[in-house]
A and B are shown apart, each in its own frame.
Chain A
Amino acid sequence: MGLTFECARCHDHKYDPISQKEHFELYSFFNNIDELGLTPGGAGKIPKPYMTITEKEKNGVLSFVQIQKSKMEEIPVMVMNEMENIRPSFILNRGVYDQPTTQVYPNTPKSILPFPSEYPQNRLGLAKWLFHKDNPLTARVAVNRFWQRMFGNGLVASSFDFGNQGSLPTHPELLDFLAIKFREEGWDTRKILKYIALSATYQQSTEVTQELQEMDPENRLLARAPRLRLTAEVIRDQALKISGLLNREVGGPSVKPYQPAGIWEATTGGGGGSTATYVTSTGKDLYRKSLYTFWKRTVPPPSMMTFDAASRDLCTVKRQETNTPLQALVLLNDPQLIEASRLLAKTAMDTHMEKIDQISFIFKQATSRDPDEEELQMLGNYYSSMLEKVKNEDIGAEDYLSIGAYEIKGEYSKYKLAALALTAHSILNLDETISRG
């Protein structure tokens, strides 16, 4: 809903018209689940209620998630079940769990939209209320987040707060127009994203003139396209994609790509368990999209965290976009990036004869544009210098080319391959490569 609703857990909201009572009324919609939580009986036991995915579904409608890879014949999946006899909910004094006071019943904040009496007082009713045509928030908050996704900032910059403490929309009519369009066209996310992408505003150049910089340093008026750093996942996925390593398989169990040795082991209690030791995946599983990377919440993948991936500890509406020395170290020294550079060099040599064309190819793969003459010359000089160093054995070509599990087959000059891989390695480190726009 784009509100700081949790403020009202301990007291009435200090700025927005949300009372503590309303907080617990909304809470009570969800306090009616007969889930047992973690049950005695050890790991692997699924507490009730759950539904079962059968053999037929595994191979039928759910085949895309590849659960056939699982050894289990029938897979239990936990579900939320509405209780028949409603569990009473109470206002908790100052939000403290063992201090219940007045009993409350499922209801929604009046200041947003009173709960229609014809709706059932359960989660179904709440869902209907969220998508009611007079609910002022749902569609606006949603399209604002899509806008944020496309432009870095929402039309309401505080995408997490549409309350009195939040920002005003820079373009209120546009926000309303998009919200209504989204609602009337069936809440179709793909469609609205495409609509935004095809707009003239989205397709502008990112070039910043002195004049624009002074008039609108934050680019709130969108007279230019924003320049955004790619997210942690996209930086890795892009390198996999352009080097041809990417495994595009959909669904299935998580995988464990390269990670520095010893970081799980250093923090585990030593009692064993499936996450005591990091066992790196092999073969194609090394190159799946970062979406499929195994995520240990107490020790998340460091290369992802360095690029501001969400820690999964708190709900994150908007990620940070930082610029730090540790990011430079990851891009320079992560074996995944070096392996991708090697593969990029190989592909360039497969498809182009001349060194200049090979470099142009790699540059365009990484930045989506052709290098200009000056850039080509700089990169060409760099390549020549590297080639000389490889030949003089100032660079250990075999060592460098052995980084990463992928084995290149076929006959390549190791000198040229190493020199071109080092050139690609530089290109993957450019600010432009890890930025959009």
Chain B
Amino acid sequence: MWRTGRFPSVGAMENSAPQHGNPADLVARVDGLGKTYGAKDNQVAALLDVSLGIRRGEFTAIMGPSGSGKSTLMHIMAGLDSATTGRAWLGDTEITGLADDALTVLRRRRVGFVFQSFNLVPTLDIEGNILLPFELDGRRPSAEERAWIDQLVGSLGLGARLRHRPHELSGGQQQRVAIARALATRPDLVFADEPTGNLDSRTSREVLTLLQAAGREYGQSIAMVTHDPIAASFADRIVFLADGRIVRDLGKSTAEEISSLMLGMERAA
């Protein structure tokens, strides 16, 4: 079912202007972002003039086919990679051109990550993995943070697993630990990079429901990179990338709507 009023028309696909909104409501934004790889005469552009704001408390999906630049966009927004042109902010902090150490501390305190696989440090037990961001900061969680972590561990069903090592857990359980770790520091923004890419469909749904609940119940802002329409259908907003540009910016949609839009984009390409 298409709630057409909220969507740009299909004709406006090229250069649909992203909604910047009030910067105070944006937890992260990029402006005129470009990223090229390779030497001068052999350049490949991963991103071309991308401007986007991630709204506070929203679950945003960044979608696109392989090679569309969605991972590059996420890496730059998370301070993992640097842009060739344009600027990026996390909250009020401009992260463009920040030194490596400053970026590292920023990631540690204000960003959470859930990757597709290899999320956990194999030599640490589950509790050690969840507490790692605090330890890297050289501190113990405060009583309030401790209570929050206990609540997360309880609601993610990890209570009995705290002393286990990652390799003793199933893929779905490992992703839940990654989510607990990402939420533990109450970061400004959690980045999830294909968080269900390695999971079966039932476990995928569980993980996505958890991410959705983190947004709805705790007001956690989440940006998820995915190419799976079902995963994207759990998000409040879906941004489409193709060939390094934002081509669509939708509100909540069903998997069918997202699929047919993707297919349409494939045919147009």
Our verdict on whether A and B bind, yes or no, reads: no
Q: Which residues of B contact A (CB under 8 A)?
A: none
Q: Which residues of A contact B (CB under 8 A)?
A: none
